[in-house]
Amino acid sequence: MGCFGYRFFEADGTDVGEADYPSTVQPGESIWTRDGNELRVLDVVELEEGRSPYAGFLLVGPLDE
**Distance (Å, rounded) from C-alpha 20 to C-alpha 18?**
7
pTM of the model: 0.86
Contacts of 48 (CB under 8 A, 6+ apart): none
pLDDT for 33:
85
Q: Which of 57, 10, 13, 56 is nearest to 37 (CA)?
A: 10
User: pLDDT tens digits for 6-63?
Assistant: 999 999 999 999 999 999 999 999 998 888 889 999 999 999 877 888 999 999 999 8
pLDDT for 46:
92
- Identify which has the larger pLDDT, 43 or 3: 43
pLDDT for 11:
93
Is pLDDT above 80 for 2? no
